[in-house]
Structures are given as structure tokens and as C-alpha cells.
A and B are shown apart, each in its own frame.
Chain A
Amino acid sequence: MTGLLVALGTVAVAMVIGFLVRSLGGRTRPSTAGAVPDELRRVLAPGAAVTLVQLTTEFCGTCGQARVLLTGLVDDTPGLAHAEVDLTDQPELAKRLGVLRTPTTIAVDAAGAELLRVGGVPKREELLTSLRPHLPA
């Protein structure tokens, strides 16, 4: 009997987590992390006002979706670039960045400062609104 209650309770908790992930995931969070590590600075697109650095792993289920969304956004937005860094074999870099899940997208300005980050597949309009002040008019 206890086991059945645990099973039902687990499913209920998973439902709540699922709805939370669905509604909170992909939200844009402003960042105060400052300068990004050299590993990220290296992939910044020369000449872009902001580069969206997408962090991926080989085992990331939704990184493909994030890639499609971000490359589409970049195509439509002057001054914006997209780059990817694979963290599969770089646990130490993941630790320094404080990244626990993929995809995580970090927006970096031309000077190498972190502007904001998004965990999960970004919400396009919200991300664009947050990036506006950093992009050429």
C-alpha cells in the first residue's frame, strides 16, 4: 500500500516538475558573471555585437531544437551571431561556467562580457527583447 502511494506521489511530483520545466525553462536570465573564459571568447564571431554561445553535449536531447531556433534568430537579426561549444569532454569548463544542463545559451558582447544566459530551449521573443539594448539600432 505504501508503495502504491509512493508511486502516485512520484507521478504527481513529476507532473509538477514537468509543468515547471515547461513554463520556466527557456526564460532569459540577466547575468553578472562578467568576463567569459577564454574557451568561450575564442568562438566569438568577429564583428558581431553579441554572440549567442550555445553550450551542448553529445547526449543533449533538445540541443538540436535550440540550434534551429538560434540560427533562425541570427539570420533575422543584424549584429547577432551564433556559436557552439561542446562540453562533453570539458567538465572542468562546465564547472567554471556553473552550467548543469544543456542546452544553456550564454549571450556574450564583443568585449567578452556575459550579458545573459538561458537554460533550455530559449523563448525567441523574450530573448530578442532582452538582447535589443545590446544590438545596433
Chain B
Amino acid sequence: MPAPPLAPRPTVDPRGPRFAAWLTSAVLVVVLATGWWPLLAAQAVVFALGGFAGLRYSPYSVLFRAVVAPRLRPTDEREDAAPPRFAQTVGFGFAVVGVLGYALGAPTVGVVATALALAAAFLNAAFGFCLGCEAYLLINRLSAKQRKVGTAR
């Protein structure tokens, strides 16, 4: 179908989202081990910044550019930023449910939501498999309004 003329789509160094996924996994393991939900709330803010404002505004992405990228070999490899950005919004949803569960006295809900987010983050970190991206259609189908659930634009 004919796409309307758009500005070039934003791209990212693919190693950035992988690095962010490792950090996210580590944070979520600590949340599960300690049950300290303010840390999960902080992770939710990170997800929200990356998902709603844009990947470059995610603190993990800032850290990658400032500290990690200069130590890596430079690369021309770029990937579309929309899929990882969408995945951040999915992560945000799970983190919010997790925070509510822990904070409102339903720790089982908190643990399950956090564990699901950890599984997705770990799959991304270790295997480069972006669960949120692949399952966009499934998530879209489950979303009540049958509309685009992503606001990644």
C-alpha cells in the first residue's frame, strides 16, 4: 500500500537495545529477589521514557551512548527504532501491573508480572529475540479496542 511521504524513520545501533535489555533483566531479577517495588516503579519510568518519549530518552540508552558505545568498535549497522520502542511500551504495561500488585498487597500479581517482563527482557538480551515485536499481532488482538496499541510514533 502506498506509504505517505514520511521523514526517514529513526534508527538505532542494535547493540543499544541489547545492552538495555541486559540492564533491564538485572534490575528485574533484583526486584524479584527483594520484592522492593520502588525499584520496579523506577524501571517503569525507564520503560515509559523509552516507549513514549523515544528510545534515545531512555536512561539506559543515554548510558550506552555515553559509556559503552565509545568503548565498542564503531558500526554502521542500524536497525529500525520502532520495534524496540514498541516493546518498551509493552514492558511499561507489565511493570505498572507489577508495581500495583506489590504496592496494593497482591504480591503474587507483582511477582508474575515482573517475571513475565524478565522473561521478555532476557530473551531480548541473550537471544536478540524481541518478544513484544514478534507478538504485536497477538497483543493487538488481545487489546480491547482492536486498534493500534502502539503509540510509537
Contacts and interface: CB of A to CB of B under 8 A. Distances in A.
A and B physically associate:
yes
Interface of A: 3-4, 6-7, 10-11, 13-15, 17-18, 21-22, 57-62, 64, 86-89, 91-92, 94-95, 99-102, 120
A21 B127 contact: yes
A125 to B, nearest CB: 22
A77 B28 CA distance: 47
A89 B119 CA distance: 28
A10 B125 CA distance: 14
B119 A101 contact: no
Given A3-B35, A3-B111, A14-B123, A59 B118 contact: no
B86 to A, nearest CB: 4
A11 B129 CA distance: 14
Contacts of A21: 123, 127, 129
Nearest to B84: A61
Contact of A7 (B79, B83, B115, B152): B115
Interface in B124-153: 126-127, 129-130, 132-138, 140-141, 146-148, 150, 152
B7 interface: no
A100 B126 CA distance: 23
A91 B132 CA distance: 16
